[in-house]
A and B are shown apart, each in its own frame.
Chain A
Amino acid sequence: MKIKVIVTPKKGVLDPQGKAIQQTLNSMNFIDVNEVRQGKYFEIETDIKNEKDAKKNVEEICKKLLANLVIEDYEII
């Protein structure tokens, strides 16, 4: 089973890469763009067959490794 995870900077945490992307987009005439937050996307293949159990396991994985909870939020999708 494949579980997908998105990790993004927490609200309020400076994201200089996102800011640079936003400014570049503005300079490319995408003037409507007022914020960009850059994150990470993971696809995790697991042997666990039951979706609920697999997501529970991935939650642990997120807390222990994939996200630094001081600065990042994670979302399992």
Chain B
Amino acid sequence: MKSSVIIFPGSNCDRDMDVALKKFGFKNKMVWHNETSVPKSDLIVLPGGFSYGDYLRCGSIASKSKIINSVIEFANKGGLVIGVCNGFQILIETGLVAGALLRNKYLKFICKNIYVKANKVKNKYFHKIKKDILELHIAHNDGNYFCSKDDLNFLQDNDLIACKYCDINGEVSENSNPNGSIENIAGVFNKNKNILGMMPHPERVIDNCLSSNDGSYFFENLLSNMR
């Protein structure tokens, strides 16, 4: 399987994502934001970081990059696109996924491991995943997911909430919500579930020598669902 990671000025999780994708068997290419087309890919990843210094709104400037039109075209044809952290913010700003990401509720940059409960219903990312309560890492200042009531109803009615913050036992509550996100939302899909935006970083937890190895389940499962 071929993947492409887009690099924006200020991306800083692009290399980690490259390492993770390659570790699990993707043939990955790095693509500079100023390119006008993405090489033939089965998966495009928008990585985390601080594209354009988070100027204006996180992800807003990157969402107007030259490369983005071909990412949108790829996504609209059903191609798999993941945006992690700043990548999620960029997806939001392109309008490919619903909602917005506000400043964290308690105004603190949060950098820690959290648990998310994955939605396994009919999607390439989490369907059949061996473990559905995953210990992943978050590191963000603006991850407080917000959307209109209509959008929330649409997300809920169509199983488009990709993952929710929970505790170690999978219980979703106010106590397990690190940033004030509506309904503990940590990630969402687009309508066709080919696009996944999520704040947690699976690529940071892919080895037993790290604080968790649960990102491995994510990448292994994705690859297996793509085959």
Residues of chain A having any CB pair with chain B under 8 Å: 13-14, 16-17, 20, 65-66, 68, 70-71
Contacts and interface: CB of A to CB of B under 8 A. Distances in A.
Nearest to B106: A16
Given A68-B57, A68-B100, A16 B107 contact: yes
A16 B146 contact: no
A71 B182 CA distance: 13
30 contacts: A13-B102, A13-B146, A14-B102, A14-B105, A14-B144, A14-B146, A14-B180, A16-B102, A16-B104, A16-B105, A16-B106, A16-B107, A16-B144, A17-B103, A17-B107, A20-B107, A65-B56, A65-B60, A65-B64, A66-B56, A68-B60, A68-B93, A70-B98, A70-B99, A70-B100, A70-B146, A70-B147, A70-B148, A71-B102, A71-B146
Contacts of A13: 102, 146
Interface string B141-152: 000101110000
Contacts of A14: 102, 105, 144, 146, 180
Contacts, number: 35
A66 B123 CA distance: 34
B59 to A, nearest CB: 10
A65 to B, nearest CB: 7
Contacts of A17: 103, 107
Contacts of B180: 14, 16
B77 to A, nearest CB: 24
A70 B64 CA distance: 17
A20 B104 CA distance: 12
Contacts of A20: 107
A20 B103 CA distance: 12
Nearest to A17: B103
A3 to B, nearest CB: 17
Give the one of A13, A66, A71 with max B CB within 10 A. Answer: A71
The list of the 10 closest CB pairs from A to B, nearest first, reads A70-B100, A71-B100, A16-B107, A16-B103, A68-B100, A16-B105, A68-B57, A20-B107, A14-B102, A71-B146
Nearest to B63: A65
